[in-house]
Amino acid sequence: MTNKKPYDYLIVGSGLYGAVFAHEAKKKNKKCLVVDKRNHLGGNVYCENIEGINVHKYGAHIFHTNDKFIWDYVNSFVPFNRYTNSPLANYKGELYNLPFNMNTFYQLWGVRTPQEAKAIIDEQTKKHRVKKPGNLEEQALSLVGEDIYHKLIKGYTEKQWGRKATKLPAFIIKRLPLRFSFDNNYFNDSYQGIPIGGYNKLIDGLLNNIEYRVGVDYFKEKDNLHRLADNIVYTGKIDEFYDYCHGELEYRSLRFDHQILNQSNYQGNAVVNYTDSDTSFTRILEHKHFEFGMQKNTVITKEYPLEASNKNEPYYPINDTKNSNLYNEYKKMALQDNIIFGGRLAEYKYYDMHQVIGAALAKTKKLFQNQ
Ligand SMILES: Cc1cc2nc3c(=O)[nH]c(=O)nc-3n(C[C@H](O)[C@H](O)[C@H](O)COP(=O)(O)OP(=O)(O)OC[C@H]3O[C@@H](n4cnc5c(N)ncnc54)[C@H](O)[C@@H]3O)c2cc1C
């Protein structure tokens, strides 16, 4: 007779996928153990309290969705504020509103009406219209014209991807929405905001009364961990899971440089993008503005894009043909295994938060439908 293992599920990774999975499994009376190799819970939404400010340690995280169910779901753990994402662009000291809208067009050209703005954009795009743009630069010029491209897109995108825009595929920029109203709200979604008190409250709510261990790398403790549960939910890198047998999937990474400043307000906005190519970082975040903070000091973060390597964290999957084919090889292997692969690293997919929550809810609904 075999002894029953102490847990129903071992969940590798305490990011949103792992936390939502654990929460839903617990509702079905499943016993879960969540492990994470970092020394904290929450994956990339983790916040550290510095100077009374919830600092988004892995980059700005702004929750947005059109799905009322998901909005109500997250708000059932922690109320969200109504932070509206309205980033600015700083191009060599000139400030522009984003996303591209009538405020931006006024700042670029002094135009006051949609007709005047459309006329300039039409003039600047028509000479670049081609049937099939061969690279990102051609694509962007055909969509928005020279001024917007050169001041607000080129430098930022080249820094982000570490390549010249002429060497980047056109598909990276499918659309570049132009808004002909004076509206700086970045997202079109019905719901957006930041958890009041930070994202840790959301993760703590999801993992309430669920056992976890941090500082535990699944690969270093695999044998011991497998003795604890038959079912495994894995949210780490899929290529690592299979020991890179088909090769390594590529990612873009970031370095975050956090600084405490002895002043109450550094830039007057949570997010400012630096769109020139001479400045090596892409953005400066000022965290207190996500929650309308009035603290004495402030904390800012500069984001420097990097190639991902064994030393750098993998953040953005590069979903080009080469990597997508490689991922499909791993996915074929995953389909043969009795393991649940979920989340952005295991599915090699750029998920926003609402999407990863939706994916974990869909998975658990299907898995536990008869229970
Ligand atoms: C810079 C940046 C900004 C973003 N901004 C936004 C935004 O504004 N709005 C938005 O909706 N979304 C945003 N996102 C996306 C958001 O972060 C993801 O949707 C979400 O965090 C993904 O959750 P996850 O559980 O799939 O992955 P993760 O949060 O990465 O969690 C995976 C966890 O698995 C752990 N792990 C991996 N391997 C092992 C192992 N071997 N052993 C143990 N543990 C392991 C990791 O330590 C990690 O904690 C942003 C992402 C980044 C990178």
The answer to whether residue 116 is domain-embedded is yes
| Atom 12, ligand 1: residue with shortest CA distance | 352
Same domain, 60 and 197: yes
Do the domain assignments include residue 267? no
pLDDT tens readout for residues 215-229? 999 999 999 999 999
Question: Is the domain of 332 the same as that of 360?
Answer: yes
User: Would the pLDDT of 120 be above 60?
Assistant: yes
Answer whether 0.85 is exceeded by the pTM: yes
Could you give the percent of the chain with pLDDT greater than 90?
A: 91
- Residue 63: band (very low, low, confident or very high) from pLDDT cuts 50, 70, 90: very high
238 and 115: one domain?
no
Are 164 and 245 in the same domain? Answer: no
> Does residue 125 have a pLDDT over 90?
yes
Q: How far is the CA of 14 from the centre of ligand 1 (A)?
A: 9
> Does 130 score more than 90 pLDDT?
no
Confidence at residue 297, expressed as pLDDT on a 0 to 100 scale: 98
Same domain, 11 and 160: no
Provide the domain limits for residue 331: 7-83+191-249+319-367
The answer, yes or no, to whether residue 10 has pLDDT greater than 80, is: yes
283 included as an active-site residue: yes
Q: Which pLDDT score, from 0 to 100, does residue 300 have?
A: 98
Decide: 232 and 12 in contact? Cβ < 8 Å.
Answer: yes
Mark which of 143, 172, 201 sits at the end of a domain.
172
Q: Provide the number of structural domains found in the chain.
A: 2
The confidence band for 172, taking pLDDT boundaries of 50, 70 and 90, is: confident
Do the Cβ atoms of 351 and 15 come closer than 8 Å?
no
Q: Is the CB of 38 under 6 A from ligand 1?
A: yes
Same domain, 245 and 338: yes
What tens digit of pLDDT does each residue of 154-170 get? 999 999 998 999 999 89
The C-alpha atoms of residue 239 and residue 224 are separated, in whole angstroms, by 22
Same domain, 78 and 118: no
Q: pLDDT at position 173, please?
A: 86
Kindly report the CATH number assigned to the domain that includes residue 358: 3.40.50.720
Determine the pLDDT at residue 4.
86
Candidates 248, 252, 266, 329; catalytic one: 252
pLDDT score for 311: 75
Q: Residue whose CA is closest, atom 33 of ligand 1? A: 13
In a domain, 301, yes or no: no
Nearest to 17 by CA among 228, 207, 253: 207
Whether 306 is covered by a domain: the verdict is: no
Q: Which two tokens stand for residue 30?
A: 């499943």
pLDDT band at 2 (very low <50, low <70, confident <90, very high): low
* In-domain check, residue 285: no
Q: Of 123, 140, 172, at which residue does a domain stop?
A: 172
What integer best gives the mean pLDDT of the chain? 96
Model confidence pLDDT, tens digit, residues 226-253: 999 999 999 999 999 999 999 999 999 9
Specify whether 157 is located in the same domain as 14.
Answer: no
Q: Which residue has the tokens 């300039």?
A: 120
pLDDT class for 371, splitting at 50, 70, 90?
Answer: confident
Least confident of 90-104, 115-129, 308-322, 329-343: 308-322
Mean pLDDT of 136-151: 97
Q: Are 276 and 154 in contact (CB under 8 A)?
A: no
Query: Is 358 near ligand 1, meaning CB less than 6 Å away?
Result: no
Measured in Å, residue 252 CA sits from the centre of ligand 1 at 13
Residues 58 and 201 in one domain: yes
Rg value, the chain, Cα: 22
Centre of ligand 1 to C-alpha 350, Å, is: 10
Is 313 part of any domain? no
Active site includes 179?
Answer: yes
pLDDT at 196 over 60: yes
Residues 56 and 12 in one domain: yes
Judge if 65 and 104 occupy the same domain: no
* Residue 225 domain-assigned (yes or no): yes
Q: Which of 235, 237, 243, 347 to mutate to test the pocket of ligand 1 (most atoms within 8 A of CB)?
A: 235
From the CB of 305, is ligand 1 less than 6 Å away? no
Within a domain: 276 = no
Mutate to test the pocket of ligand 1, among 34, 56, 61 (most ligand atoms within 8 A of CB): 61
**Same domain, residue pair 233 and 335:** yes
Q: Is the pLDDT of residue 27 over 60?
A: yes
- The 10s digit of each residue's pLDDT in 44-62 is 999 999 999 999 999 999 9
Please say which residue of 172, 207, 222 terminates a domain.
172
Task: Give the pLDDT confidence score for residue 131 in this predicted structure.
Answer: 85
Q: How crowded is residue 297: how many other Cβ atoms within 10 Å of its Cβ?
A: 16
Helix axes 114-126, 102-109, angle to 10 degrees: 70
